[in-house]
Structures are given as structure tokens and as C-alpha cells.
Amino acid sequence: MDLGLTPVQTVACCSPLSREPLSQDVAEQVSLVLKALGDPVRLRLMSLVASHEGGEACVCDLNDAFDLSQPTISHHLKVLHEVGLLEREKRGVWVYYRARTEALANLASLIGGTAK
């Protein structure tokens, strides 16, 4: 079933939790996305980026929002990126992360949705 898609892309193609039992394969993919969000720091990072103007934020801004080392923040951003929740773009020395709002929307409808 895996075609090199990121976990978030898998989320887009299935009925909500309450509609029918999740297959093991799908559950494994979706759980990766939820696990990525299941950390206070990453959840705040995601929220900071998503609520920032333009839906994107520079790493330099994000570092200052936490009492954590720069490598730690970088690590969390990588986790969110690998799972497909954040896009990464480098501009000069700075790196900007953008939230994939459709991914969040898909995840939301999988969790709480009733349709499809």
C-alpha cells in the first residue's frame, strides 16, 4: 500500500474513525501523524507556524518561543516535516516552515468526521 507517500497523504484517502474499522496498514500510517502531534513542543510548534501570518514561520522565531536548545527544536521540526505536516523552504541562511492545512483538515475529518 505504500507508494512513497508521506503519512499525511495516507490520511486523505480513508473514511472517518467512526465510520468503519481502520485497517492495520492505515492505522499504522495515521498513528505516525498523531504521534508526531502527540508532543507538547511539537503541538505548539505546529500551532505557532499555522497561526503565523502567511501560515509560515522562520526557525529563528520558533527557537525563541521555547526554553529548549536549538538542536532540540530542529529535531522536532524534522519530525513534523518527515510526517508531512510541515513544508520546508530555505531562503538564504534562513529556513521557513509552512503548515499543510489540508493535511490538518484531512486528519481532522478522519478523527471527527461522519461523512464519506
| Out of 22, 58, 59, 95, the residue judged to bind a copy of itself by CB under 8 A | 22
Q: Is 101 in the site for a copy of itself (CB under 8 A)?
A: yes
Distance CA 75, CA 71 (A): 6
Element (H, E) at 90: strand 86-91
Residue among 6, 3, 98, 112 at smallest CA distance from 49: 98
Q: Is 47 in the site for DNA (CB under 7 A)?
A: no
Grid coordinates representing 34 are 498523531
Q: Is 105 in the site for a copy of itself (CB under 8 A)?
A: yes
Site for DNA in 50-109 (CB under 7 A): 58-60, 63, 67-72, 74-79, 88, 90, 92-95
